[in-house]
C-alpha cells in the first residue's frame, strides 16, 4: 500500500497521456541497483535507498522511472518507435517534501526524427502543465549538452579534460573549479621521483616494469584490482591532466559560451555568431540545435517564452543532448524536467541503437502550485 495519497488530478494526467498516443506501463518498486549506480549520476546515487536480496544482489527502491521503463522495453523485446507513459511512486533520501513522492511522465523511444521528438517532449510537458495550472504562467529553460561537448572538443583539450568538463556540465560550482585548474595547472604532489622521471621521459616499458617490481616487493600485486599496465596508463593521464593549461584566449571563449542566456528565438543566431567569432566549428551539434528550434516553432510553441542557457544541465549522467525544465513563473520549484538520452538503452543492453527523449512531472510540486493559484 502507498504511504502517501495520490493527488486528485492524477486522472487528468493519465487522460492527457492517453490522448498523446502513449501506452501506460508500470515497473516494480524494487529495482536492481546497479543501473542507477552506474548511469544515474552522483546526485541521485546519494539519494537511493539500497538493500539486497538473500543472494547478496544489490537492490533499491525505485528512485526514478526512466531506467526501469527502458529496461522493461529491452526485456519485452518491443519494437520501436514506442511512447510509454507512467505514473507512480519514487523514493529518494533527504528530499525536501518527503522521501516518497509521485512522478508521472512520458518516455519516447525510437523516433529517428530527433528534432520533432524533442519538440514533442517539451510540448507535451507544457501542454499537461497548462491544463493542470490554467491560471499560472509557465517558464521553460533549455540547454544542450551536445553543443557544450562540441565547444569543448573544438577547443582542443585533451580527452581526459573533455571528459571531466562534460561530466560536470550543469554543475556551475564544479565547472568553475575545473576552469580554475585549467587556468593554473598544478604538479602532482607526493609522486615517487623515479616514477615522475620515467613518465617525463616517456619510457613506458620501464615505467610498467618499475610498477610491477614495486607491486611484487610490497605484496600489493596479489590483491590489486588493476594491472601495472593500467596503473601506468592512469599515472600518465593524471600527470597530463594536472599539467594541462588552457591559454587565456581559449579560457575566455569557454567562459563566454557558458555565460550565454537569451530567448530561444535568438539562440541560433547567437551560437552561430559565437562560433564564427571564435573560429570554432560546432558542426552537427549546431545543425541539430537549429532543427530543434524550427520544430518547436512548427509545434506552435512561443520561442520568446523559452530561455536558452548554455550552462544549463540536469543532474543525471545519461543525458546526451537536449535538457529542459519547466516552472511556474515566480517560483523556483521545477514542475517538469527531461531531455534526450540516446546512449542509455545501448548501455542497458539493447542490441541496436535506440534514440530516446522524455520528461517527468513532480506531482507534489504541481499540487502545491495548484493550491496557490
Read off the pLDDT of residues 219-239 as tens digits, 9 standing for 90 and up. 665 555 577 777 777 666 666
| 284 and 231 together in one domain | no
Rounded CA-CA distance 125/324 in Å is 10
Side-chain-side CA neighbours of residue 303 (13 Å): 18
Range 263-285 average pLDDT: 95
- Tens digits of per-residue pLDDT, 361-373? 999 999 999 998 7
Map residue 238 onto helix, strand or coil. helix
Dihedral of alpha carbons 202, 205, 208, 210, sign: negative
The H-or-E segment that residue 236 falls in is helix 228-243
Residues 111 and 228 grouped into a single domain: no
The whole-chain average pLDDT of the chain stands at 88
DSSP code of 314? -
Q: Is 309 annotated in some ligand binding site?
A: no
For residue 359, being part of any structural domain is answered with: yes
Say yes or no: 143 and 104 in one domain: yes
Q: Is 318 annotated as a binding residue?
A: yes
Number of domains in the chain: 2
pLDDT at residue 240 is higher than 70 = no
For residues 27 and 135, state if they share a domain: yes
Q: What secondary structure does DSSP assign to 170-202, as a single string?
A: T-HHHHHHHHHHHHS--PPTT--HHHHHHHHHT
Q: Is residue 314 a known part of a binding site? A: yes
Residues 6+ apart with CB under 8 A from 365: 97, 333, 334, 335
Least confident piece of the model among 25-29, 174-178, 215-219, 291-295? 215-219
pLDDT score, position 53? 87
pLDDT digits (tens, 9 = 90+) for 95-119: 776 789 999 999 999 999 999 999 9
To the question of whether residue 319 is assigned a binding role by annotation, the answer is: yes
Upper half-sphere CA count for residue 279 (Cβ side, 13 Å): 4
C-alpha 362/C-alpha 251 separation (Å) is 37
Answer yes or no: is 230 a known binding residue. no
Q: Please tell me whether 64 is known to bind a ligand.
A: yes
> Same domain, yes or no, for 337 and 290?
yes
Question: Which residue range(s) make up the domain with 31?
Answer: 10-150+274-371
Q: Tell me: do 71 and 137 sit in the same domain.
A: yes
Q: How far apart are the first and last CA of the chain?
A: 31
Contact 167, 317 (CB under 8 A): yes
**Does 107 show up as a binding residue in the annotation?**
yes
What gap in Å lies between CA 264 and CA 290, rounded to an integer?
10
Residues 234 and 281 in one domain: no
Distances (CA, A) of 10 to 58, 364, 371: 32, 11, 15
* 162 located within any domain: no
Residues 92 and 24 in one domain: yes
Three cell numbers written together for 84: 510509454
Backbone angles phi, psi at 261, to 5 degrees: -155, 115
Q: Return the pLDDT at 141.
A: 98
In a domain, 328, yes or no: yes
Lowest-confidence segment of 12-26, 33-47, 201-215, 270-284 by average pLDDT: 201-215
316: Cβ contacts below 8 Å, ≥ 6 apart: 40, 41, 43, 44, 66, 339
- Do residues 236 and 114 share a domain? no
pTM over cut 0.75 = yes
Q: What is the pLDDT of residue 237?
A: 61
Closest Cα partner for 304 from 270, 267, 346, 340? Answer: 267
Q: Is the pLDDT of residue 138 over 80?
A: yes
Between CA 116 and CA 293 the distance in angstroms is 10
86 has binding-site annotation: no
Residues 110/81, Cβ–Cβ less than 8 Å = yes
pLDDT over 60 at 156, yes or no: yes
Q: Does the annotation place 103 within a ligand binding site?
A: yes
One domain for residues 351 and 230: no
Amino acid at each position: 500500500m502507498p504511504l502517501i495519497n495520490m493527488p486528485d488530478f492524477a486522472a487528468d494526467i493519465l487522460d492527457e497521456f492517453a490522448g498523446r498516443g502513449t501506452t501506460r506501463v508500470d515497473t516494480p518498486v524494487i529495482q536492481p541497483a546497479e543501473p542507477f549506480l552506474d548511469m544515474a549520476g552522483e546526485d541521485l546515487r546519494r539519494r537511493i535507498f539500497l538493500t539486497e536480496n538473500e543472494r547478496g544482489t544489490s537492490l533499491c527502491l525505485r528512485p526514478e522511472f526512466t531506467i526501469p521503463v527502458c529496461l522493461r522495453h529491452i526485456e519485452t523485446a518491443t519494437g520501436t518507435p514506442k511512447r510509454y507513459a507512467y505514473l507512480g511512486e519514487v523514493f529518494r533520501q533527504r528530499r525536501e517534501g518527503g522521501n516518497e513522492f509521485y512522478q508521472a511522465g512520458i518516455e519516447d523511444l525510437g523516433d529517428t526524427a530527433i528534432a520533432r521528438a524533442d519538440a514533442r517532449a517539451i510540448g507535451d510537458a507544457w501542454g499537461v502543465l497548462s491544463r493542470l495550472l490554467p491560471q499560472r504562467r509557465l517558464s521553460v529553460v533549455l540547454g544542450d549538452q551536445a553543443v557544450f561537448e562540441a565547444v569543448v572538443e573544438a577547443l582542443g583539450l585533451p580527452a581526459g579534460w573533455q571528459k571531466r568538463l562534460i561530466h560536470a556540465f550543469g554543475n556551475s560550482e564544479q565547472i568553475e573549479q575545473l576552469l580554475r585548474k585549467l587556468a593554473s595547472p598544478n604538479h602532482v604532489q607526493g609522486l615517487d621521483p623515479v616514477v615522475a622521471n620515467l613518465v617525463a621521459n616517456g619510457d613506458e616499458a620501464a615505467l610498467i616494469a618499475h610498477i610491477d617490481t614495486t607491486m611484487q616487493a610490497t605484496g600489493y600485486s596479489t590483491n590489486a584490482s588493476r594491472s601495472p599496465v593500467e596503473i601506468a596508463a592512469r599515472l600518465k593521464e593524471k600527470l597530463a591532466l594536472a599539467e594541462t593549461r588552457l591559454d587565456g584566449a581559449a579560457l575566455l571563449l569557454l567562459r563566454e559560451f557558458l555565460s550565454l542566456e537569451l530567448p530561444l528565438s535568438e539562440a541560433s543566431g547567437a551560437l552561430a555568431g559565437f562560433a564564427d567569432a571564435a573560429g570554432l566549428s560546432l558542426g552537427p551539434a549546431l545543425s541539430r540545435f537549429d532543427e530543434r528550434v524550427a520544430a518547436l516553432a512548427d509545434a506552435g510553441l512561443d520561442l520568446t517564452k523559452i530561455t536558452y542557457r548554455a550552462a544549463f544541465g540536469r543532474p543525471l549522467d545519461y543525458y546526451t543532448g537536449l535538457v529542459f525544465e519547466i516552472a511556474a513563473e515566480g517560483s523556483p520549484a521545477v514542475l517538469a524536467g527531461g531531455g534526450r538520452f540516446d546512449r542509455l538503452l545501448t548501455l542497458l543492453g539493447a542490441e541496436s541503437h535506440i534514440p530516446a527523449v522524455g520528461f517527468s512531472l513532480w506531482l507534489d510540486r504541481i499540487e502545491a502550485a495548484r493550491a496557490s493559484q
